[in-house]
A and B are shown apart, each in its own frame.
Chain A
Amino acid sequence: MVDKPGSTKGKAIPINWNKIPWWAVIVAAIFLFIINAVITNPSYLDTLSFLSGYTMWITRGAVTGVVLTIVITIVAYVITLVIGLIMGLARLSKNPIIYTIATLYVEIARGVPMLVLLLYVSFVGIPMVISWTNSLGAAMLTWTWLPGFLHGFAQALVDYNIRNVSEIVRGVIGLSIGYGAYSAEVFRAGIQSIEKGQMEAARSLGMSYFQAMRFIILPQAIRRILPPLGNDFIALLKDSSLVSALSVQELTMLGRQNVARTFRTFETWNMVALLYLIMTFALSFLVRQIERRMSIEHR
């Protein structure tokens, strides 16, 4: 058979050196270097074992390190989405009180640095709320007309101590409040981006405002805001390192402890950075997959 002109059969396909994603090659090389180090170098293996939370789990049965970072991120993100949806809807409310409360929240939470917000929520906000519920419980116990079945509840309010709220819970609440404000704006913008006619059509079919939101507006809005919501997820994962300031033993905190324990600064921070990178890469891959599936399912 005679090759037609232009056919590539039997010839090397020319490589376009400009099109190779060099950044990915370099990242892969770093991965390989560190994997090799972990396998061949016992001090790297020890660092990985400590940072992943394995050592602490074996010796003390405590969830720490990478595992704790993942748990904090996921729980905080779920709460963030709930706060974001509610506050996003509230920002669109025609009721001036609801609108004002939501706007106040968004502006304050976005205006304070995340680290300061975390410290404030943990050491000012939550203790304040607990002291309020303590005094509420004490007041309830003095009400003679209080139904009997609420006595136990009132007593529990009085007994609840600020020490019962762990640093992890405080960190999760702080992160959720901070990121809830960002995602509230994302939800608001997404809902506003849906044409007015969609709500009118839904309402003209007899749906209530909430039915129209649930079945018509939000399904369309969520598809549009998936990329920014995914970004928030990744940013939240990275900012979860800030809860180390509350002495929560997540990945970054364990990094510090490992340095104090072994003086292996270089290995430790290499490994911490790498573990965060792996998590964010995996997450952005996941977000891209979800986006792609949604765009195939519905055009």
Chain B
Amino acid sequence: MNTGKNIDLNEDAIIQIRNVYKSFGTIEAVNNVSLDVHRGEVVVIIGPSGSGKSTLLRCINHLENIDKGSVVVDGIPLSSKANINKVRAEVGMVFQQFNLFPHLSVLENVMISQRVVRKRSFAEAERIALDLLEKVGIPDKAANYPGQLSGGQQQRVAIARALAMQPKIMLFDEPTSALDPEMIKEVLDVMLDLAKEGMTMAVVSHEMGFVRAAADRIVFMDHGWVIEETTPYDLFENPKEERTRQFLSKILH
């Protein structure tokens, strides 16, 4: 699929995952996975539940401590505490359960990291936050608390909160899985806008509409292994692996 974007494949990849292993007890969640994501690329990771896709995503900003292998983000290896905090400031993350801060208003949710981590002035942080709330379509909810918002609105605030750090990369961990069906579109629309603007994105999702419209590359995972890495066109038209075909037949009805 041609999104009209210029992705320079010769440049060093902004996310470089090399031979990463991660296990929880006896369960091997991520098995020898290597993956590159280039600047401006949208990579969607799919796979059955328990296939390690979320764990892989969480390895990128070190929410999971990897057992073996290496992760380099924007030239910074995730090796020391200082580096991890540096990488996290450049990588935005959106969670399945939103994880908004319930004791802070919507505006404060979007401001807090700007004030604490970026050390911006109150006025500047507020201006950026209001712009972002406008962008995700809920400027009128700035003074509300997260508990007063619908799921779709909460997830859009969560996206605005992550964007407030002006990240180079956005990670989406099943952003629409906890939403009622009629709210999925409002969140996907915001994600599509981001993709169009050229944001580098790694997305764990089974929204095939989003995959068709925005994905540059699909990674299919099962039991912690990357089974297939392909383009959306090839995924739907001629998946190479039998396991991929089985999975697709289940989710495409």
Contacts and interface: CB of A to CB of B under 8 A. Distances in A.
A209 B102 CA distance: 19
Contact of B103 (A201, A203, A204, A220): A220
B99 A203 contact: no
Contact of A298 (B61, B93, B145): B145
Contact of B101 (A201, A204, A206, A299): A201
B95 A205 contact: no
A251 B101 CA distance: 45
Contact of A299 (B95, B99, B145): B145
A84 to B, nearest CB: 20
A265 interface: no
Contacts of A220: 101-103
A198 interface: yes
B103 A207 contact: no
Given A198-B99, A215-B112, A220-B103, A205 B117 contact: yes
Contacts, number: 63
B103 A197 contact: no
Nearest to A211: B116
B117 A207 contact: yes
Contacts of B116: 207, 211, 215
A5 to B, nearest CB: 41
B88 interface: yes
A201 B148 CA distance: 20
A205 B103 contact: no
Interface in A64-107: none
A159 interface: no
A202 to B, nearest CB: 8
30 contacts: A195-B99, A197-B95, A198-B101, A200-B95, A201-B100, A201-B101, A201-B158, A202-B113, A204-B88, A204-B93, A204-B162, A205-B88, A205-B92, A205-B161, A205-B162, A206-B88, A206-B89, A206-B113, A207-B113, A207-B117, A208-B85, A211-B116, A216-B101, A216-B112, A219-B103, A220-B101, A220-B102, A223-B103, A298-B145, A299-B148
Interface of B: 61, 63, 85, 88-89, 91-93, 95, 97, 99-103, 112-113, 116-117, 145, 147-148, 158, 161-162, 165
Given A205-B165, A211-B117, 9 more contacts: A195-B97, A197-B99, A201-B95, A206-B85, A206-B89, A207-B113, A207-B117, A219-B103, A298-B102
Interface of A: 195, 197-198, 200-208, 211, 215-216, 219-220, 223, 298-299
